[in-house]
Amino acid sequence: MSKFATELETSENFGDIFEIVKKSVKGHLSREGAGLMLVLADLPIQLGAFHSLGTNQIVMNRALLDRVVASAHPRSHINSFVYSILLHEYLHSLSVVDEGEVRQLVHDISMKTFGPDHPASTVASKGPWTLLRTPGYVDTHVPTETQLEFKPRQAEWIRQGHEPLYVR
């Protein structure tokens, strides 16, 4: 198992995973960005996350993350899901705006960082929703856009930078 694969499998929080994202991008593209904040918010299930250009925030879909966690995948799969989502949005924060180019870069970086048999490479190849389509996962109610009901929950802010990662 590669150093990055071991680090990802043992990561216990978003900050640990984001450090792997930054190292893998720097290693493959020789690019890095300034500190970013991660916001967890309930979004439509078909949206994994987003980054608004010119901001320092990545907004990750807490509802989708909750479903992946509830699917009882091992930590390595859940962390691979988070890695893939954060990698995608981190590339946008580095001003890669073309969606097709970002998806290709996520695939290429994941393959080079982890190899073709790692869950992060599978998520990069098939999309983050692949973990919801894995045999054994049962979800009796997958809402459509018109059926979504948003529960009022406070957004969680997670800051990355000079300060330690925290959740408010």
What's the 3-state SS for 70-121?
HCCCCHHHHHHHHHHHHHHHHHHHCCCCCHHHHHHHHHHHHHHHHCCCCHHH
Largest CA distance in the chain: 44
- At residue 19, the pLDDT reads 94
pTM of the predicted model as reported, rounded to 2 decimal places? 0.79
List beta partners, residue 57. Answer: 37
C-alpha 66/C-alpha 163 separation (Å) is 26
The residues spanned by each domain of the chain are 3-135+150-159
Q: Of 48 and 165, which is predicted with more confidence?
A: 48
pLDDT-derived band at 134 (thresholds 50, 70, 90) equals: low
